[in-house]
Structure formats: C-alpha cells, structure tokens
Structure 1
C-alpha cells in the first residue's frame, strides 16, 4: 500500500479481497478534537456524498460492515466510512456521564466539518450505526441530506437473548463467531470476516471501551436521562427512512409500531435477510439505498 506524509494511503480492490476492478478505497487519519479518527473514502469527490456508519458489536469496524456496499455505491457517490471512537483504527475513547449517542454525534459533527465534503451527506447506518443515524436526524446533530437506518431501532426494542449475547463479550474466536451468526444468520463462508472481527477484538483498548460504560459506583443512585425518542423523530428536518429485515434475530419484529404513530414522517422499507444485510446482501442493499436517496433528492 502506498502511504503519503499525511498518513493517507490508497487501497486497491486486491488489498481488500474484492473481485471488481477499478474501484480504489483510500484510507486516512484525521484529528477530530484530539481523537485520531480512521476513515475510508471511495468515489468521485464531486459526486453526492454518503456517510456510512458501522455496527457496534465487538470487533466491528467500517470495512467489515460496509466494504462491498461502499464499493458498489462509489460508482456514483462519494462514500465515506469512518471507524467510530472505540473501534477499528480510531482512538479507543469513551465519554462518561452522557448518553451513548451524544458524544458520538459530536464526534461525527466535528469529523464532517473537517472533511468538507462539499455538501450535506446522506447518512446511512447499520445496527448501532443506524441508531446513530436516527438520533442524528432527530436532533439535527449536523447537516445531512437524509438519514437511513438499516435494522437500527434508535436504541430500544431489542430482544432479550441478543442483548445478553452482545453484552457478554467473552474472549475467543468462538464467541465472535456466535456474534457474527446473530448478525448474519450464518457463519458459512464468513471465516475471513470472523477472523478479522476477532483480531479487532484484541486491539489494545477496544475491550475496555466496550465494557467501561457498564461500570457503576456501587452507592450511586441510578442515573435518569431524559429521552424523547422516538417522538423526537417527528422533529427531523430531513427525510428519515428505516430498512427492516424479515429474518432479523436481534430486534422485535413489530418494533416499527412504536414509531409510526408518533413520527409518521419516517418511511419504512423491508427486505429479506438478517440483521446485517450489508454483510450478506450488499448489492441488494445498495440498490435499495440508491432508490431511497434518489427519491429523497
């Protein structure tokens, strides 16, 4: 890989085990308020920008969530996919005393301001990244053209066994394999994905960033955080869409019923597939995202 003095490098398809020629993914690092932030870009810089936000399971990063979708969308969009704080090659930082969304949205706002994409991006997130997209739209956290969540609910309505599995954080590749199976409903053919997620889980600071927010003072009263969600989605100033999946094992299958009455502006779409179709059905998902973004102007 070629790397210049700014820490920027060009990643060809071969380096990312891709099979289609002529798409190059560039990796760079950006200092966002003291947080060294890793991100990937592809596509014509003059094209409509898209910001992709990855899932929040142990070992996640931007490329594991979005590589094939990024490559597909880069044909006609400028696509940016950061590693969120605590994940991938971004600094392993957390913020205590705030909601799990607030400091991440501030970080994304600073990231986009420094990146200067030339226009507000369409924001697309998967799972926890989808939750961030919805939360960003609800509070106008930064300029965006639209917000789309892929299987992210905004926080609530996850099924109990999935919450337990994703909270256990057991050491070892076997546990990571179980996490991937819940995300994708299979492990066959995903050995490379599992291996890379397992390697990420061993990165210094990543485990601490994942578990630290659970630490509570034994004598402290439970914190009460006011949260208007999902009612706050009605305040969104941009189009908001949600893609649900028919074979999702992580969330309640009828969770949109909680959103529709209070935020009728949110448009729901459904596709076949598991919780993370960005991993298992990238071309199909990319086609749906194109339609959504086209209809949203």
Structure 2
C-alpha cells in the first residue's frame, strides 16, 4: 500500500537506546534489513531524505529509516568531540533495540560518515554498505568547499532563515535547482528552527582546545583501519557535488579493499534524490549481491 505522496505505509516507532536518548524510526517492507541514514543539512530527517527510494527498496528489503541523533523526532544534541562516533553509537543502539545483529547500511553525506564509522568500529554489524558523497573523506587535506561552508554557517551570523536554506539547497545541494519543490524547502525550514535544534545544532565546526584532534578524528582517510575494512562497499558520488568533493570517491576506492565506485554525471550532492531511478537500481542490485 502506498500513500498519496508515493511513500508506502510505514510503521513509526521511537526506540529508547539508553542514556536518556531516543531514536525515531519508520519502517516498511520485508526481507534483509537495510537502514537508510540521512544527511546532515538543516532540517533533514530520514523519510524526507529518501522519499524517492523507500518504496523501490522495500520491494525486497525490510527498510528502516531513522532520524539520526540530533535530527527530526530523535533526541537532540551531539557529542561535538566525536560526532561521527556519537552517531555510530546511536545507530548501533538502534540495531540492538531492533534485535538485529547485522544489517545493510545506506548513508548519504553525514549519514554516510555515520555508516562508515559504525563499520570501522564494528565491521561484524554491517553486511553491505552504500555511501553517497559521505562526509569525512579527506576533510583535513583541503579547505572546506563553499557548499560545506554554507551548511556550517546556517546557524551562525544572523541565524537561520528560509532564504539561507533555499540558497544552500538550490545552489549547493543539487545540480538542477528546479528539481526541489518549494514545499520541501518549507518543510525543512520549519524543522530547522525547532527551538531544541537551535539550542544544540547537530552539525557545526569543531571548536575549543581539542578542535584539531576532533577534525583529525573526523577524517577517515587518516584512519588506518580503512585499508582493512572487509565490508563490501558501493560508493556513489555526484560529479558536480559542491558540498563534498567528488575526489573523495577515488580516495575511498583506493583505500577500501572491496569498493565499487560510480561517479554520476550532472548530479550534485543528493544522488538518491536527483537520480533516483539509477540509484534505486544500483543500490538494489548491490545489496542483492550483484556487482
């Protein structure tokens, strides 16, 4: 059964993962479990990030779509000293609550960094992994991109505004600005000005005396475990990505021992949204074991 938005009917549950933290997740479908982990832009959430993918993947999988810690209906606040580790711990806690020892992980941007960190820390918990323009790839080897600066500056200066969010989404997030409806921007803007989010923005620049240590910890290309990670991985990267540099895909392909790389022409940072049909086909084939 699908709703009028094209999404299948989904079961919604909020899970207590301990330490006073809760993670909201929606799920649908049957089959091998796959978690879809969303990006870290202002106002992001799980289902909104994957509206064009959930139904297709649910044809053969149990699709679980959480709101990452700090976002949506999950508990706000992130450990700024190790944000990727904090996200990975949260999703690992969700797997425990779901009774899943192992699952496929699909991660976009911030969610890709979460997936990769979870796999590095506990590779036995990850079956296969699909990463779309993941964060944390070579980030200490060059200055931040204009798109990443736009994202990190959203809550600073004169504070959040719909105009700032629209510029980030239409100018930096996607290749074709007209592809994103106004309603989607309105929805994300409303979520981005939740008082709890404004009080503790989930994605911000490391600061303080340990900022450099945090930055190094957030660059996976400096993690020696990357070359030994046994998890089969598919990396999809938009050739016109203005947030995370497409060269990151080649860095991962060079370092990961079992990695396929697909660079998508005329596509920005949001591959699963901009090229949904291609993404759905490649993702489904890869998760099924077809290379």
- How many angstroms does 1:252 deviate by? 2.4
Report which of the two structures shows the higher radius of gyration computed on alpha carbons: 1
1:73 pairs, out of 38, 53, 57, with 57
- Give the number of equivalent residue pairs: 276
Question: What is residue 195 of structure 1 aligned with on the other side?
Answer: 186
Match of 2:85 in 1: 102
Match of 2:242 in 1: 249
Q: 1:87 aligns to what?
A: 71
CA RMSD of aligned residues (A): 2.5
Asked if structure 2 preserves the Cα contact closer than 8 Å seen for 1:239 and 1:296, the reply is no
Q: Which residue of 2 aligns with 1:6?
A: none
Greater shift, 196-205 or 138-147, is seen at 138-147
Match of 2:220 in 1: 229
What does residue 108 of structure 2 align with? 126
Aligned partner of 1:39 among 6, 25, 39: 25
Q: Distance in 2 between matches of 1:211 and 1:111?
A: 18
1:28 to 2:19 alignment? no
Q: If the length of structure 1 is used for normalisation, what is the TM-score?
A: 0.83
In structure 2, C-alpha distance between the alignment counterparts of 1:261 and 1:164, rounded to whole Å? 27
Please give the TM-score of this superposition, normalised by the length of structure 2: 0.85
Structure 2 residues not aligned, in runs of 5+: none
> Partners of 1:95 and 1:247 in 2: how far apart?
31
Distance 1:201 1:37 in 2: 18
- SS of the counterpart of 2:24? strand
- Quick check: 82-91 or 224-233, which moved more? 224-233
1:207 aligns with one of 177, 198, 207: 198
User: CA separation of 1:64/1:183 partners in 2, compared to 1, >3 Å: closer, same or farther?
Assistant: same
Structure 1 alignment gaps of length 5 or more = 1-10
Secondary structure at 1:81's aligned position in 2?
A: strand
